[in-house]
Amino acid sequence: MSTVTIDRRVFLCGPVAGALVTARAWAQTAPVSAGPADPKLIEDLVAANRVLADQGVVDGYGHVSVRHPADPQRYLMSRSIAPEMVTAADVMEYDLDSNPVDARGRASYLERFIHGEIYRARADVTAVVHNHSPSVIPFGVSTAPLRPLYHMSAFLGGGVPVFDIKIAAGQATDMLVRTPALGRALAQTLGPRPVALMRGHGAVVVADSLPRAVFRSVYTEMNARLQAQAMALGGPVTYLDDEEARRAEASVAGTISRPWELWKKKALAR
């Protein structure tokens, strides 16, 4: 009986070789970690997810991130999971291309590109929230602009832009910001503003801290609800003018820790 010798080089041209090459390529291109984040920041990120759920801004969908304090080219966000269920163990690190540093088999949010591209475009932004805040949705699909109705939502002064993904993509989509290009288009629509609506989808809210991003998300939802009620009464609605909005925002800015500590205590006690 003849002996068949299998050349190892030929064998490695098969599926095993492909897997090895892929693994090596990933090892060479995987983002480098900025290092462990402060446990207090991780706790705040977990709390932010739960607070937004408690306040009715997110449900099983939506996500919040924070820029890594050790490297502005990295950000932290949970794996793909309902916000109310997020724990410290779910938090992952990403680069600004929204590649996970150490996925370990954990799934990422499809729309993580919202976060990476906004951080890339806005050096002043430290936290990003994406939500499907229900009262906000109508203002992204109608001609009625979202405007600051009272002092708690004064940050809406100056106008709230609306992102239309169909225009950005040049064709119909599934409405999800699932590519870097769409993330960049959304960041461009947001511009220097703290809030942008997303037609037929939701909103994105940014700030220079997690507590402020949560605060703005909560009061954007509340303003939308109150504005719809005021409009339904009939007759003209008196909104904050630009100077009132500027003054009110400056006054409220120093008090954000008050609701944040209350919301956080309640959310983490569950």
Residue 190: closest CA among 214, 212, 166, 207: 207
Name the pairing type of β-strands 162-163 and 195-198: parallel
Percent of the chain that is helix, strand, coil (3-state, to 5): 45, 10, 40
Catalytic residue among 111, 117, 221, 249: 111
Residue 93: closest CA among 110, 113, 79: 79
CB atoms within 10 A of CB 216: 23
- In degrees and rounded to multiples of 5, residue 199 shows phi and psi of -50, 130
Tell me, yes or no, if 111 is annotated catalytic: yes
Name the pairing type of β-strands 63-67 and 127-131: antiparallel
Cα–Cα distance list, 201 to 49, 87, 128, 166, 257 (Å): 19, 26, 16, 12, 29
Q: How far is the first Cα of the chain from the last one, in angstroms, to the nearest whole number?
A: 72
Q: Residues 2-16, buried b or exposed e (16+ Cβ, 10 A)?
A: eeeeeeeeeeeeeee
CB atoms within 10 A of CB 261: 12
Give catalytic residue positions: 111
